[in-house]
Amino acid sequence: MTRIGILGGTLDPIHCGHLAAATAARDTFDLPRVLVMPSHVPPHRPVQPVASAYHRFAMASLAVSGLPRLEACDDELRTEGPSYTATTLARLQARGFAACEIFFITGADAFADIATWKRYPDVLDLAHFVVVSRPGHDIGALAGRLPDLRDRMRPAGAPARTDGTTLIFLLEAATPDVSSTLVRDRLRRGAPLAGLVPPLVDTHIRQHHLYSAPADHLHGQS
């Protein structure tokens, strides 16, 4: 069986929390590949990304360099319009992946709002969902918050179903207390980013004056 992991999101910028979730899922499910996929137009954000698609993909590429079995993917960036998870997963299936071979990685904070996602609840039939714990978000509370999904939830160490049914795996992992909003705020205040983003991402941000330059420079590719 060929299995693949997907970690999506605006990644504006990618940070160590994203990487911790991706590597935890990679190791727990022994995934040969995890695609780190910046979204083109995030449908759940009223404000669009600050950094351009060019820079967000560049930062994702730098972040995964040297991390085994993680790779940056521009699939959603090359697709016009909102980046819906259901559409992305359907494209993977069209390329030959069965739903039970796809592991979609997301944080417990994002998954708590799964009922607002496009094509819910059918989107849950398109892949296994790996829900990773996040600081301040109790992964154990998800079953109570989403009672209709309780029967599909399993601890991350549980075996997958043999009939191809997709499941929601709850993965307790040590992920740092960081968000892209926090990173952008620290940059605006001139604070250091040590431990929040990979060093190569920090260098790229500062070389290109991202998140602290005038808007016309911010969205460019210089």
Q: Would you say residue 1 has pLDDT above 80?
A: no
pTM of the model: 0.93
CATH class of 4-218: alpha beta
Mean pLDDT of all residues in 118-132: 97
The residues near 66 (Cβ < 8 Å, ≥ 6 apart) are none
129-157: average pLDDT: 94
Q: Given this model, what pLDDT does residue 163 score?
A: 86
What pLDDT score was predicted for residue 212?
Answer: 83
Peptide bond into 13 cis (omega under 30): yes
Within 10 Å of residue 108's Cβ, how many Cβ atoms? 24
Q: What average pLDDT does range 34-62 have in this prediction?
A: 89
Task: Note the pLDDT tens digit of each residue in 65-75.
Answer: 999 999 999 99
To the nearest whole number, what is the mean pLDDT of the chain?
A: 92
State the pLDDT at residue 44: 66
